[in-house]
């Protein structure tokens, strides 16, 4: 069935004659207009090819850029060394950016993505994205503006790298461009990122960020309220506002150039409101006529940016109607020929190929013992952070209250004096922006160590880890990575203080993120070694690491009796990722645990031993990757395993541990004891739903007396 946008363009373009209208201002030469028109034509025919490939069973993606081809003008107003994080309707931007860098074949690259070909040069067949390392286009899959916090971070990182004298992938005067749709502009992620950008400017912090809202007036089938984008962003203090008709190439180019120059010169954020249309529906399966009137659809066809550019070329005497149609059909032939070439291209053929960017080879060897005076968990983390800051000039520590106050629990105390305010600094109270800064710093080659004050607060921003950090190496075949160590004050047992938001034991949202390294230290020596291991993995392998620090153990000093100092240990040493630690060599029972559960299990094991039950206690230390080899060895040593899990019964760590045992064919007795599937209430009521020492003892006796 003919595509109406295709038919309408050909019928109308064939009738074009010079109108006698004066040349528009802005200095867009005829030659330059033809270059941008070529990008627009390529983008349109990629959309048509996508639908044809899909109909033939070769393609898998039909969300196109038709109606948004004016973003070629934005690319034309920027430099190819300006980092770009693009909206998924940015085909013309990508093609024009590629034209500026010799040796590219962007049409073929995009088509390879449409057919999920393994040779596609950015995602390797894992997704259709606009991305390229040589083009400084950081790949994004976002459809809800979740890439805006990263864009904020990239812009911030350009300036911070220059201030610290660090190497950066981008020049000192580069600016960051980030495009998104009008519907996505309403998402909390977008509004939070814009707020953070304006806040930076308010504080006098340079932030060269150009936000481009491509406003087609509709999100799938839901209309954006008329005038809303201008009302929301047109007069916001601290955010320069520029408006252009994205269907008018000359106007879009002139305004985009002014906006880019403004950001480059002033190092402040700006908002470019680009009014566009959406042609060919939301995607191939979308039936626009079910929610839009024929008059609306026809009106958008008349505003087709390709048609407007064709009129401009004819009016300027650069091309005739016949030339326009000829260029259009020549581009169709070029794209369709490439589409036929790639239609049968090999795809990813195994799970190993699909998961290659997520692979992590843990370093060999065992742990190295720490030496020095015994310290608490908080002191061990503090000293290790200080040492790492001394050793790594590109490392930054930041978050809410981490600098002047030194953290809510004093874990970062003194670090700002040690490393300076450019490397240890406070942020606004917005976890999405905190992690967005980390995403930007990591992409710029630095080592960010952000702090999230409480595990419950992370859930407000979990998609920045899941949808942005973890996916970047996956959807760029490892060409882009997000080195990052997120420190999170976690778990419960604060003696009833704070209720749910300060006592959260939900880790399921982290444990199912592919490739994420999750450290969960209990003791000071382990915390120091695990933090160093995470820094090494992030800095050396580009890994995304999360370190869950048990708040209730930060300042613990004793183990069995008051004053015994049994929870103090020297800071230092190394702890290989994915290796557990075993306490004792009892042959009756293996207790598998982590975090607060370790202290409770060691105390429970002492009482069980007094009753004649010989235990060994295994501290997992790493929740991802789980230390399966160590787990199996210690389980087989006793033939009886009790998992003492302070997280919830549903979605908790014990599910993964027992599954690992079953997968490996463990045939001994196994059971688990966990906290309840409940939020953590205030006060002493918390202990009705949390794992306890008494519960561990009771579960151990029940397991050992149960039939095999």
Mean pLDDT (whole number) for 191-201 = 96
Segments of the chain assigned to CATH 3.40.50.970: 4-9+27-342, 367-570
| Local confidence band at 1 (pLDDT 50, 70, 90 cut-offs) | confident
**Strand locations in 368-483 (E):** 374-375, 395-399, 424-426, 447-452
DSSP bridge pairs for 240: 270
Are residues 24 and 312 in contact, defined by beta-carbon separation less than 8 angstroms?
Answer: yes
**Residue 317: burial class (beta carbons within 10 Å; 0-12, 13-18, 19+):** exposed
- Return the closest-CA partner of residue 154 out of 486, 485, 436, 395: 436
| Local confidence band at 285 (pLDDT 50, 70, 90 cut-offs) | confident
Q: Is the C-alpha dihedral spanning 115, 121, 123, 126 positive or negative?
A: positive
pLDDT of residue 24: 77
pLDDT of residue 257: 97
Are residues 425 and 461 in contact, defined by beta-carbon separation less than 8 angstroms?
Answer: no
Can you tell me the distance from the alpha carbon of 107 to that of 369, in angstroms, rounded to the nearest whole number?
A: 55
CB atoms within 10 A of CB 21: 10
pLDDT of 11 > 70? The answer is yes
For 671, how many CA atoms within 13 A lie in the half-sphere containing its CB?
A: 18
pLDDT of 98 > 50? The answer is yes
| Range with the poorest average pLDDT among 75-84, 166-175, 299-308, 365-374 | 365-374
pLDDT of 107 > 50? The answer is yes
Alpha-carbon distances of 206 from 81, 511, 634, rounded to whole Å? 19, 36, 54
**Residue 235: burial class (beta carbons within 10 Å; 0-12, 13-18, 19+):** exposed
Q: Domain 4-9+27-342 in CATH: superfamily?
A: Thiamin diphosphate (ThDP)-binding fold, Pyr/PP domains (3.40.50.970)
pLDDT of 362 > 70? The answer is no
Mean pLDDT (whole number) for 487-503 = 84
pLDDT of 9 > 90? The answer is yes
The widest CA-to-CA distance across the chain, in whole angstroms, is 101
Can you tell me the distance from the alpha carbon of 239 to that of 249, in angstroms, rounded to the nearest whole number?
A: 24
| Local confidence band at 364 (pLDDT 50, 70, 90 cut-offs) | very low
Task: Tell me what the pLDDT averaged over the chain comes to.
Answer: 94
Segments of the chain assigned to CATH 3.40.50.920: 581-705
pLDDT of residue 365: 44
Residue 448 three-state SS:
strand
Can you tell me the distance from the alpha carbon of 66 to that of 306, in angstroms, rounded to the nearest whole number?
A: 9
The token pair that represents 504 in the structure block: 């959260």
DSSP bridge pairs for 270: 210, 240
- Chosen CATH of 367-570 out of 3.40.50.300, 3.40.50.970, 1.10.10.10, 3.65.10.10: 3.40.50.970
Mean pLDDT (whole number) for 194-221 = 96
The token pair that represents 178 in the structure block: 């980030």
- Return the closest-CA partner of residue 490 out of 536, 535, 521, 516: 521
Which residues have C-beta within 8 Å of that of residue 557, sequence separation ≥ 6? 376, 565, 567, 568
pLDDT of 147 > 80? The answer is yes
Mean pLDDT (whole number) for 459-467 = 92
- Return the closest-CA partner of residue 297 out of 661, 679, 607, 7: 7
Peptide bond just before 625 cis, omega within 30 deg? yes
Q: Is the C-alpha dihedral spanning 316, 321, 323, 326 positive or negative?
A: positive
pLDDT of 142 > 80? The answer is no
Are residues 549 and 602 in contact, defined by beta-carbon separation less than 8 angstroms?
Answer: no
Give the rounded percent of residues in the chain with a pLDDT score beyond 70: 98
pLDDT of residue 368: 56
* Active centre residues (catalytic): 502
Can you tell me the distance from the alpha carbon of 76 to that of 35, in angstroms, rounded to the nearest whole number?
A: 9
CATH number of 581-705: 3.40.50.920
Mean pLDDT (whole number) for 280-306 = 91
Which residues have C-beta within 8 Å of that of residue 357, sequence separation ≥ 6? 124, 473, 474, 476, 477, 478, 515
pLDDT of residue 538: 96
* DSSP characters over 113-165: HHTTBTT-TTTTTS-----BTTTTB-----SSSTTHHHHHHHHHHHHHHHHHT
pLDDT tens-place string over residues 236-272: 999 999 999 999 999 999 999 999 999 999 999 999 9
Residue spans of alpha helices (H) in 588-692: 596-610, 628-638, 653-663
pLDDT of 112 > 50? The answer is yes
Give the rounded percent of residues in the chain with a pLDDT score beyond 90: 90
Can you tell me the distance from the alpha carbon of 185 to that of 145, in angstroms, rounded to the nearest whole number?
A: 7
């Amino acid at each position: 069935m003919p595509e109406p946008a295709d038919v309408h363009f050909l019928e109308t373009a064939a009738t074009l004659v010079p109108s006698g209208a004066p040349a528009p201002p802005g200095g867009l030469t005829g030659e330059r207009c033809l270059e941008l028109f070529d990008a627009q034509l390529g983008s349109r025919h990629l959309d048509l090819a996508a639908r044809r490939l899909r109909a033939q069973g070769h393609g898998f993606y039909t969300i196109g850029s038709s109606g948004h081809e004016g973003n070629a003008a934005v690319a034309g107003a920027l430099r190819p060394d300006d980092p770009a994080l693009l909206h998924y309707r940015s085909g013309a931007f990508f093609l024009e950016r590629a034209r500026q860098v010799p040796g590219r074949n962007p049409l073929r690259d995009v088509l390879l993505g449409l057919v999920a070909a393994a040779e596609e040069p950015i995602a390797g067949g894992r997704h259709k994205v606009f991305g390229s390392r040589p083009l400084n286009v950081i790949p994004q899959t976002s459809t809800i503006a979740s890439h805006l916090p990263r864009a904020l971070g990239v812009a911030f990182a350009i300036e911070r790298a220059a201030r610290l004298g660090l190497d950066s992938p981008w020049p000192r005067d580069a600016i960051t461009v980030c495009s998104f749709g009008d519907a996505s502009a309403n998402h909390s992620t977008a509004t939070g990122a814009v707020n953070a950008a304006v806040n930076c400017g308010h504080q006098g912090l340079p932030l060269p960020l150009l936000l481009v809202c491509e406003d087609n007036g509709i999100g799938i089938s839901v209309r954006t309220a008329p005038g809303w984008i201008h009302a929301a962003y047109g007069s916001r203090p601290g955010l320069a506002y520029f408006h252009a008709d994205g269907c008018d190439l000359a106007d879009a180019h002139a305004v985009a150039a002014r906006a880019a120059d403004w950001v480059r010169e002033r190092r402040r954020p700006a908002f470019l409101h680009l009014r566009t249309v959406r042609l060919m529906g939301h995607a191939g399966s979308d039936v626009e006529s079910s929610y839009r009137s024929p008059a609306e659809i026809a009106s958008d066809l008349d505003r087709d940016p390709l048609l407007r550019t064709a009129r401009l070329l004819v009016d300027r005497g650069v091309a005739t109607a016949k030339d326009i149609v000829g260029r259009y059909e020549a581009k169709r032939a070029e794209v369709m020929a490439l589409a036929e070439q790639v239609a049968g291209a090999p795809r990813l053929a195994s799970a190993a190929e699909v998961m290659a960017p997520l692979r992590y080879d843990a370093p060999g060897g065992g742990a190295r013992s720490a030496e020095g005076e015994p310290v608490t968990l908080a002191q061990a983390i503090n000293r290790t952070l200080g040492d790492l800051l001394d050793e790594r000039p590109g490392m930054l520590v930041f978050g809410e209250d981490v600098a002047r106050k030194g953290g809510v629990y004093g874990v970062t105390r003194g670090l700002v004096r040690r490393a300076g305010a450019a490397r240890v600094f406070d942020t606004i109270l917005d976890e999405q922006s905190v992690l967005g800064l980390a995403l930007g710093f990591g992409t710029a080659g630095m080592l960010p160590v952000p702090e999230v004050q409480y595990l419950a607060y992370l859930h407000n921003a979990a998609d920045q880890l899941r949808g942005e950090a973890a996916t970047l190496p996956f959807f760029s075949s490892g060409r882009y990575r997000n080195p990052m160590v997120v420190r999170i004050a976690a778990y419960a047992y604060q003696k009833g203080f704070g209720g749910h938001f300060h006592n959260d034991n939900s880790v399921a949202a982290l444990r199912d993120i592919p490739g994420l390294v999750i450290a969960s230290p209990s003791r000071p020596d382990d915390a120091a070694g695990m933090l160093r291991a995470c820094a090494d993995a992030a800095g050396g392998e580009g890994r995304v690491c999360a370190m869950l620090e048990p708040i209730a153990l930060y300042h613990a000093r004793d183990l069995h009796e008051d004053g015994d100092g049994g929870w103090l240990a020297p800071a230092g040493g190394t702890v290989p990722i994915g290796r557990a630690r075993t306490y004792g060599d009892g042959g009756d029972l293996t207790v598998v645990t982590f975090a607060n559960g370790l202290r409770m299990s060691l105390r429970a094991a002492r009482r069980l031993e007094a009753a004649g039950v010989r235990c060994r206690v295994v501290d997992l230390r790493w929740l991802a990757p789980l230390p399966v080899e160590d787990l199996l060895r210690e389980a087989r040593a006793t033939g009886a395993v009790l998992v003492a899990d302070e997280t919830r019964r549903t979605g908790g760590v014990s599910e993964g541990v027992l599954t690992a045992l079953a997968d490996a064919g463990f045939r001994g007795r196994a059971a688990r004891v966990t906290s309840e599937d409940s939020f953590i209430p205030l006060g002493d009521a918390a202990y009705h739903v949390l794992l306890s020492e008494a519960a561990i003892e009771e579960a151990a006796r029940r397991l050992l007396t149960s039939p095999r």
